[in-house]
Structure 1
Amino acid sequence: MISEGYIIERDGSDLDFSVLQLSKKGFEYLKYDLGFLKENRFAAQSVAHDYWGTAFQLGEFAINPRPDVEFFTEQELQCSDDSLLPDWVPKSRDHFPDGFTRIKNEKFDSVFAIEVDLNLKPLIRYQKSGYYYDGLDSRTDVVFWLCDGFRLMERIFECLNSAKLRRFETHHFVLLDDFKKLGWQAPVRSGREKNKTVREIYMARTGEDPGQERVRPGDGTIQEIFLSKKKSPWVSKR
């Protein structure tokens, strides 16, 4: 598909490897199978930002997909008409998170929001983000902030804290370096579930023992899938 121009290879300024992306030709080929699109968006505005957002959101679910887990990306949110959004995806256009993940449990649904910050933005934007999450229903009970650096994490934390948010405890911070080294075993540095790992927080909502490792030998790890510098794609041995 690369040789035919449906997929292109791109380099990110903050990545040590190239990534694959749908080309305009590939998008034109697929778009009529995607349903109604409010906007024709397909290219990453920031390769590194979108890559880490995808890697963090999919995580171990890319290795072991689950029928009780659903994803909705920023691209989908930007391109979809409000009337076509799933009922669990917030309809507000006041802010566009980098992704939503829903875990359906027998007792309740949990919705996770993903925010990826590689550089500091104007502080008013973080306050507006906080107010946006304050306005969502209780299903969105965890907001993960993946931050490139401890100081950046502190600034965002301080900004949200100063906004006197009603649901400040839903905001959970993870360092990008921790994620690169540990995948979903990365610790949460602040929030209601501080000192737990990302994996423990996700798995607790699936009704499974968070200590029960789902990744089987030979299936690969988050690091092997998303951080490998090999040119050949990762293939499951299942």
Structure 2
Amino acid sequence: MTLSSPATAAKGVSGDPLLTVSGLAYDYAGMGAVADCTLEVPKGRIVALIGGNGAGKTTSVKMIAGALRPRRGTIRFDGSEVTGLPAHRVVDLGLCLVPEGRLVFQHLTVYENLLVSGHVSRARTQLQQNLDRVFALFPRLGERKAQNAGSLSGGEQQMLAIGRGLMTMPRLLILDEPSLGLSPMLVSTIFSLVRKLNEEGISVLLVEQNVHQTLAIADYAYVLEKGRVVQSGAGRELLNDPKVKEAYLGLA
């Protein structure tokens, strides 16, 4: 279902842009996965990227984070072009992706997982302060810091994945499906955490299929469909949009 024409999409949200993405495209084995991803994340805001399965959300944020090299398009972070930079250099600039599926190091302890991320160049001088911050945000991780990550529950592994991202001292944190597979209570905890991190000054790009809760906290949102941004607007504005309700909330 097409929500609007690409010409009317991705108008942008007001504010000093921290991330500007223009016309990103990517192919898998000759098939177009993303054709035109264009969006902005202003400093200090929560911006959402929503869409159905296969819309190209994960591919888009992997390009932004340097895990994939775009076929076309540009990525600017805090005014500097970062298109095509490898992921480790992007992290050192303050842009960190917490990927879908958690992807913690299963055979390392909680503490060791955090140390791996804490040794990036921008954060290593504040390693202990960052550890203290993560354990304050997630007391359960502090209780289990000597436990192998693979033995944690799904919710605890998600906490660890986010904690690893925070160890890099991000200016922009990209969260790809952080609520996937979690209980309703833990989902609420994750969304509350996103708000808290944003209040502490971290800009957030949130990729989610939990559209209702995502749009409720997002300052602005973009709808990705078949690899193209087809609509954008304030989060609560899209939450009340009849076409978004029909396509993503199951409400006619």
State TM-score, norm by structure 1.
0.34
Q: Which has the higher strand share?
A: 2
Q: Which structure's relative contact order is higher, taking Cα pairs within 8 Å and 6+ residues apart?
A: 2
